């Protein structure tokens, strides 16, 4: 282990933050020849006997990612499956199979587990995928871990392909789930459309394969926040990204919540996560389809700017912070 990696081992997880932890625990040894894409993207890609496969895993922990008094078990299931299948879409692929790890206290009603399973199955069915296995154990809180398998036509679209001169585009609603979270956190249940967006995201699963077919240079699932996730593309690609706020139409429910909370509603769009909006970069010659809206540009430099200036707010969600 390098000196820098060894020295940070003595810090706490909260001191390091999510991405430093990932860097710390990610193996440094070269991957086997069959691993075509390793850690650092939305999914891994590995060779299998009859081709290649995409893999990803996500964990949802009670009172961290969901609350049972905010969301039904069915909604938690839909959300858990969506988070994983959006990662496959963000490589230009389509999910085919899921496995589920489920841990819960012994006094949890059995119906809750059944409803969770129904939610996962119904979300998976949207792309023709199915639950093919998993594991169950006891725990003090509910934990749902979903692993997903998928495929893509041709090579997956990575985060590292953006180039100066590219345009940045988004597909799917953005900011709605983040606004819904703030509504629920303050004890309210309306606007209902935002609360439902938080409880049950609606990723555009076809947007990823569509972007790949159109020749996208980079692609990512905006699960932690637009600025934060564009930051991953900027870092991986060694470029700067500038986002234009006039590219976004601030929907009336976002405006209403912003006014009620005394918050600029653009904050929900720029830093709110969990909508699983697809973010892509395209060469300037690419004609964007109807599902894609241009929201910025790629330039030389580093980091993400908003309207030409460093973003002053929270860029997005970070675990352990």
Q: Can you give the pTM of this predicted structure? A: 0.85
**What is the reported pLDDT for 49?**
57
Q: What backbone torsions phi and psi does residue 99 show, to the nearest 5 degrees?
A: -120, 150
**What is the reported pLDDT for 1?**
42
Three-state SS string over the chain comes to CCHHHHHHCCCCHHHHCHHHHHHHHCCCCCCCCCEEECCCCCCEEEEECCEEEEEEEEEEEECCCECCCCCCHHHHHHHHHHHHHHHHHCCCEEEEEEEEEEEECCCCCHHHHHHHHHHHHHHHHCCCCEEEEEEEEECCCCEEEEEEEEEECCCCCCHHHCCCCCEEEEECCCCHHHHHHHHHHCCCCCCHHHHHHHHCCCCCCCHHHHHHHHCCCEEEEECCCHHHHHHHHHHHHCCEEEECHHHCCCCHHHHHHHHHHCCCCHHHHHHCCCCCEEEEEECCCCCCCCCCEEEEEEECCCEEEECCEECCCCCCCCCCC
Q: What is the dihedral of CA 122, 128, 134, 138, to 10 degrees?
A: -20
Show the low-confidence residues of the chain (pLDDT under 50).
1-3, 5, 320
**Residue 48, Cβ density class (10 Å: 0-12 exposed, 13-18 middle, ≥19 buried):** exposed
Q: Which domains are seen in the chain, by residue range?
A: 31-152 (3.30.1330.10), 159-310 (3.90.650.10)
Q: Which two tokens stand for residue 305?
A: 């700017």
Under 8 Å between Cβ of 245 and 197: no
Count of other CB atoms within 10 angstroms of residue 271: 20
**What is the reported pLDDT for 3?**
42
d(CA 69, CA 218): 38
pLDDT in tens, 124-143: 999 999 999 999 999 999 99
Under 8 Å between Cβ of 203 and 82: yes
Per DSSP bridges, beta strands 167-171 and 277-282 are antiparallel
Q: What backbone torsions phi and psi does residue 259 show, to the nearest 5 degrees?
A: -65, -40
pLDDT in tens, 61-84: 999 999 999 999 999 999 999 999
**What is the reported pLDDT for 2?**
46
Q: Which two tokens stand for residue 43?
A: 């999914």
**What is the reported pLDDT for 317?**
57
**What is the reported pLDDT for 320?**
46
Q: Nearest Cα to 213, choosing from 314, 309, 287, 297?
A: 287
Average pLDDT taken over every residue of the chain: 89
């Amino acid at each position: 282990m390098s000196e820098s990696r060894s020295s940070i081992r003595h810090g706490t997880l909260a001191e390091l933050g999510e991405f430093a932890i990932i860097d710390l625990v990610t193996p440094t040894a070269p991957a086997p020849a069959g691993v075509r894409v390793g850690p650092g993207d939305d999914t891994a890609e590995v060779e299998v006997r009859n081709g290649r496969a995409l893999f990803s895993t996500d964990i949802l922990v009670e009172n961290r990612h969901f609350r049972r008094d905010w969301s039904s078990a069915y909604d938690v299931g839909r959300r858990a499956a969506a988070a994983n299948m959006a990662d496959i879409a963000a490589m230009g692929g389509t999910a085919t199979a899921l496995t589920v790890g489920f841990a819960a206290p012994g006094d949890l009603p059995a119906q809750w587990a059944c409803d969770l399973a129904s939610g996962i199955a119904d979300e998976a069915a949207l792309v023709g995928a199915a639950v093919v296995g998993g594991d169950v154990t006891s725990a003090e809180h509910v934990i749902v871990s979903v692993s997903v398998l998928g495929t893509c036509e041709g090579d997956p679209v990575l985060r590292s392909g953006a180039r100066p001169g590219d345009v940045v585009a988004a597909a799917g609603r953005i900011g709605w789930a983040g606004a819904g979270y703030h509504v629920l956190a303050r004890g309210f249940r309306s606007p209902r459309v935002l609360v439902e967006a938080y409880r049950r995201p609606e990723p555009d699963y076809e947007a990823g394969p569509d972007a790949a077919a159109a020749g996208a240079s980079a692609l990512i699932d905006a699960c932690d926040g637009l600025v934060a996730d564009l930051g991953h593309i900027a870092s991986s690609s060694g470029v700067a990204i500038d986002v234009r706020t006039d590219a976004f139409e601030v929907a009336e429910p976002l405006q209403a919540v912003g006014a009620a909370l005394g918050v600029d509603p653009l904050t929900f769009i720029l830093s709110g996560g969990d909508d699983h909006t697809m973010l892509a970069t395209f060469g300037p010659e690419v004609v964007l389809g109807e599902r894609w809206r241009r929201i910025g540009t790629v330039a030389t430099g580093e980091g993400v700017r908003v309207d030409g200036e460093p973003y002053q707010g929270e860029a997005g969600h970070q675990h352990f912070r």
